[in-house]
Amino acid sequence: MELTIRYRTCVRKPGQRPLTPDDWTHAALTAIARGGVGAVAVETIAAELGATKGSFYWHFKNRDALIQAALDRWERERTEAVINDLEREPDPAVRLKKLFGASFQRGPSDLAEIALLANPGHPAALRAVRRATERRITYIARQLQALGWAPADAHDRAVLLYYVYAGYLQMAHVAPDHIANGAAVRRQTELVFDALAARQLPTDAGRRK
């Protein structure tokens, strides 16, 4: 009997499918994009989904559990899935250029990413941001090492490249009119790669010294 009652609380309205955890985590990320982690309110999200709080408690123990699930989804989609896609490309230089290009093009529209990197606003969010940052920097550094940079140099350059990305997101938030698109993004991607990633081989004169 208890299971039957709980299942019924998951049903929204006649003709509508029951909500899934993915529905709730997507809505939570939308709330984060709108106003940071503080905007994740169970009653508000339930109303937006056309559901009751009973539906929420079918899937999640409390608000913190929803926030954690949304953050896990953010890490999967915005870090691990991106890396997995890049790994299909065998050339580390092409991988980096694809990564920079995608970051420049899609980053400004990802308001949840901007909100989380600028102000995590919750202990779980801070941990997620730190994990994602470390994972991304480590991945970039690995590509730079594959291009011939020594480990220490690769790490320093990976950190600088991440500075560029974080600054770009902040610029998109506070001064969107200065954010490039199209051909300008491609030019800027090449400039960033040439400045910080391309391995400059010594010239003949330099080798003779």
CATH of domain 71-199: 1.10.357
Please count the CA atoms within 13 angstroms of the CA of 137 that sit on its side-chain side.
20
Residues 6+ apart with CB under 8 A from 52: 9, 46
3-state secondary structure of 90: coil
The pLDDT assigned to 189 comes to: 84
How many beta carbons lie within 10 A of that of residue 169, not counting itself? 22
Per residue in 83-137, pLDDT (tens digit) is 999 999 999 999 999 999 888 887 778 889 999 988 888 999 999 999 999 999 9
pLDDT of residue 199: 79
C-alpha span between 168 and 128 (Å, rounded): 20
CATH for the stretch 2-63: 1.10.10
Q: Where are the domains of the chain?
A: 2-63, 71-199
Which residue has tokens 């899934």?
Answer: 20
pLDDT cut 70: percent of the chain above it: 87
Query: Which of 87, 89, 78, 84 lies closest to 165 in space, CA to CA?
Result: 78
Q: Are 196 and 188 in contact (CB under 8 A)?
A: no
pLDDT at 97 (0 to 100): 92
Which pTM value belongs to this model? 0.83
* Per-residue pLDDT of the chain in tens (209 residues, 90 and over written 9): 232 323 233 444 545 678 899 999 999 999 999 999 999 999 999 999 998 888 899 999 999 999 999 999 999 999 999 999 999 999 999 999 999 988 888 777 888 999 998 888 899 999 999 999 999 999 999 999 999 999 999 999 999 999 999 988 888 777 777 776 777 778 888 899 999 999 765 444 444 44
Q: Sort residue 60 into left (φ over 0), alpha (ψ -120 to 50) or beta.
A: beta
d(CA 73, CA 67): 10
